[in-house]
């Protein structure tokens, strides 16, 4: 399915905002113009649901903030979405392991939080099946940023109507 990724992402954030607006500040730096991507909407929705849920779940207790940034690289027909939280962060030595199945940074904490530790492993599979990449940057006690890079089209919206 070909969708405007910016619209798709905005709708997902809207949904989180409705259920978490008293608890989390959502900041959007998303272009007004359309960026078309060919995605399995359900699957990519599952990826974003997990990444955003993680950003909220592993955030610091006060002043939870999740920032979204979308940037299109027209030269290479790729887009990068960045989802940044100001939460607990992940030690540098462990950050690359969070995409492994069942891997959880803090087992004690994870048990209390619930979940299975599969979210990011599944997300990685889905993103790679879209010819995309997913990776993380994190600073312990400061926060985590998840990056997702995907193919996109440079065609203008009008071109799709022909
Ligand atoms: P599930 O997604 O299956 O419900 P989960 O959230 O524990 O469980 P993943 O989404 O795969 O599993 O994340 C794996 C681990 O990576 C988490 O348990 C957590 O330790 C760490 N992690 C993921 N996202 C963040 C984040 N935004 N900040 C801090 N740690 C994170
Ligand atoms: Mg998760």
Q: ipTM more than 0.95?
A: yes
- Give the residue ranges of DSSP H helices in the chain: 5-20, 41-57, 107-113, 119-129
Q: Rounded distance, CA 88 to CA 106, Å?
A: 11
Quote the pLDDT of residue 131. Answer: 98
Q: pTM to 2 decimals?
A: 0.94
Q: What is the CA radius of gyration of the chain?
A: 16
Q: Rounded distance, CA 108 to CA 57, Å?
A: 15
Which residue ranges of the chain lie beneath pLDDT 70? 108-111, 154-162
Closest atom, ligand 1, to C-alpha of 88: 29
Quote the pLDDT of residue 106. Answer: 81
Spell out which residues line ligand 1, taking CB within 6 angstroms: 50, 54-55, 58, 85, 87-88, 90, 98, 103-106, 110, 115-121, 144
**Strand 64-73 and strand 24-29: pairing?**
parallel
Going by alpha carbons, the residue nearest to atom 25 of ligand 1 is: 54
The mean pLDDT value of the chain amounts to 92
Closest atom, ligand 1, to C-alpha of 113: 7
Quote the pLDDT of residue 156. Answer: 59
For residue 104, report the distance from its CA to the centre of ligand 1, in Å.
Answer: 6
Nearest listed ligand to the Cα of residue 124 = 1
Q: Rounded distance, CA 123 to CA 134, Å?
A: 8
**Token pair for 87:** 């939460």
Which residues have C-beta within 8 Å of that of residue 58, sequence separation ≥ 6?
A: 85, 87, 88, 113, 144
Q: What is the pLDDT of residues 105-142, one digit of tens each?
A: 887 666 677 778 999 999 999 999 999 999 999 999 99
Quote the pLDDT of residue 61. Answer: 72
């Amino acid at each position: 399915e070909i969708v405007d990724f910016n619209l798709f992402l905005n709708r997902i954030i809207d949904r989180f905002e409705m259920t978490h607006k008293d608890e989390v500040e959502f900041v959007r730096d998303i272009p007004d113009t359309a960026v078309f991507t060919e995605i399995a909407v359900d699957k990519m929705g599952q990826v974003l649901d997990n990444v955003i849920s993680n950003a909220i779940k592993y955030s610091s207790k006060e002043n939870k903030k999740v920032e979204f940034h979308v940037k299109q690289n027209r030269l290479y027909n790729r887009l990068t979405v960045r989802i940044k939280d100001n939460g607990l962060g992940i030690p540098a030595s462990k950050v690359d392991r969070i995409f492994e199945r069942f891997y959880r940074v803090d087992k004690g904490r994870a048990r209390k939080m619930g979940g299975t530790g599969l979210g990011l492993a599944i997300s990685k599979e889905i993103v790679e099946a879209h010819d995309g990449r997913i990776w993380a940057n994190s600073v312990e006690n400061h926060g985590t940023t998840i990056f997702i890079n995907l193919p996109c089209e440079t065609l203008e919206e009008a071109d799709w109507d022909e």
